[in-house]
Amino acid sequence: MLKTIGIDQIVKMPLANEFKIVEHAPINMPLIDDAHKHDFFMLLLVNSGSGTHTIDFNEYEVKERILFFLAPGQAHQWNLSKNTSGFQVLFSDAFLSKTISLPFFNASSTPVLLLNAEQNDELQQEFRLMIKEFERKEHTSTQILQHRLQIILLLLKRWYVEQFPFHSSGSDVRMINQFEHLVEKYYHQHNEVAFYASQLNVSANYLNAVCKRESFYTAGEFIRNRIMLEAKRMLILTNLDIKEIAFSLSFSDSSYFSRFFKKHTSLSPLEFRDKKGKTPGLL
């Protein structure tokens, strides 16, 4: 079965099962050889350096003043130059004392934010305040860290919606955000647009049209992309056989799943596993 890695298995410190922040100079986190997933969220701010960071099979260039968002369950790996420095914040869902809407942790969202110099300086200042509080380890430190984290996430949300206005306000966009959350909850069981449209009290045609207008993907394509992403994750991050993966994604049989997968990747599931599974540096 798929191995789940917690924060406390990466860093051995108080609070490390729920929260950890560290300034890297350079970034030199150990690689974990076994295929696994994280059960926590991560922010990675790069101050200097270069390389690549691959998140859910999409490769992004690493450069100064770039922030990466990682959500639980995502497949990622990095290849960084030796001089790469920055901040890394790891936190569990439970560490947030209240739920806030965060557009950058959705499976369909761009997991990268480019910062200008002013934003980068402000974020670094917030991170250093967190490090100072983390090192105090006083009885109120956990609550203060929780509030500081919320401030940081809200700042990032402000900057993110400026860079990606699709996630701004508006009735149609709010409906799409609700649709994304529903897909995240039910994609294992439901791949039909009609199901999600009924949950949103709209017609399937209307949901498809709004999604196409706002995101360039129909609702059906969005559902398909989410299923494909999970299939890729399971092929690379687990030892499950094709039949087990097909069953977990509600395909009627493994042959149908294999045809579906090859249609959208030009590779069979086994070919994809063999090709991508040989890439070193899985985190």
Spatial strand order of the sheet with 51-55 comes to 58-62, 51-55, 76-80
- Which three-class secondary structure state does DSSP give residue 79? strand
Q: 204-231: per-residue pLDDT in tens?
A: 999 999 998 877 789 999 999 999 999 9
Give domain limits for the chain: 3-167, 171-276
Task: Report whether CATH 1.10.10.10 matches the domain 3-167.
Answer: no
Task: Report whether CATH 1.10.10.60 matches the domain 171-276.
Answer: yes
One-letter amino acid for residue 151 of the chain: I
Q: 239-282: per-residue pLDDT in tens?
A: 899 999 999 999 999 999 999 999 999 999 999 999 876 554 44
Q: 167-191: per-residue pLDDT in tens?
A: 545 677 788 888 988 999 999 999 9
